[in-house]
Amino acid sequence: MDPRQRRTRDRLHAAVLRLAAERPVAELSVTEVAAAAGVHRSTLYEHAASPADLLQQALLVELDELRDQLLERSDQDVARAVTEITEGVLRHVERHAAVYRRGLGAGSGEASLHPMLSGHFRESSRRLRELARVEVRVPVPGVDDDVVADIAGRFLADGTVGAIEGWLERPELGVEDFMRMYVRLVPDWWPRDLAVEAR
């Protein structure tokens, strides 16, 4: 992507994030988002199929950059990496709390952010498992280990998103509170940073 396209994309992302914090993304029109970004509606279509698609892209750019920065650091153990990535995602969700409350809520419909966030956690888990050679050790007679690992990863990712949704419904709980619960909830086969419990 050339610098001009990146600047346009960044303006579109900023506009859709701002508007989606005010009302559901399903109510936003292409014309409205494009006008808020100072571009023609055809320009928006060069970057995304809809405002909902653009919103997911904007959120994923932040999430992917965060994950990539943390995974590039090879000076930490995998349990610490899991903690830092999870905390980073929570800080991101906290910054965009109004967007995620709408996007993870029961009425989010086709604009739901659950699949996007779950997919992000699945990819993070896969990369962490590769990086640290973590094996999912959950023997299930008659089921291939790779199939169990895939389903276990999905279980963990979707469960994490469900926990985040519950956390968003309780604004009195901070990131540290969530993390203390989270390390107790994750299965034994997933790396856990026991230092988090002591906070």
Model pTM score: 0.89
Nearest to 166 by CA among 56, 90, 60: 90
pLDDT at 85: 86
108 vs 34: CA distance, rounded Å: 22
**Residue 25 is assigned to a structural domain of this protein:** no
Q: Containing domain of residue 185, as a range? A: 73-198
Instruction: Write down how long the chain is.
Output: 199
10 vs 15: CA distance, rounded Å: 9
Mean pLDDT calculated for residue range 118-130: 86
Burial class (CB in 10 A: 0-12, 13-18, 19+), 123: middle
Distances from the Cα of 33 to the Cα of 11, 13, 48, 83, 152, angstroms: 10, 9, 11, 35, 38
**Residue 155 is assigned to a structural domain of this protein:** yes
**Residue 86 is assigned to a structural domain of this protein:** yes
CB 78 within 8 A of CB 132: yes
pLDDT in tens, 52-79: 999 999 999 999 998 888 777 656 677 8
Which range, 41-50, 79-88, 185-194, is most confident?
Answer: 41-50
Q: How many domains does the chain have?
A: 1
Confidence category of residue 189, pLDDT binned at 50, 70, 90: confident
**Residue 107 is assigned to a structural domain of this protein:** yes
The percent of residues in the chain predicted with pLDDT above 90, rounded, is 63
Hunting for tokens 């506009």 — which residue is that?
A: 15
CB 78 within 8 A of CB 191: yes
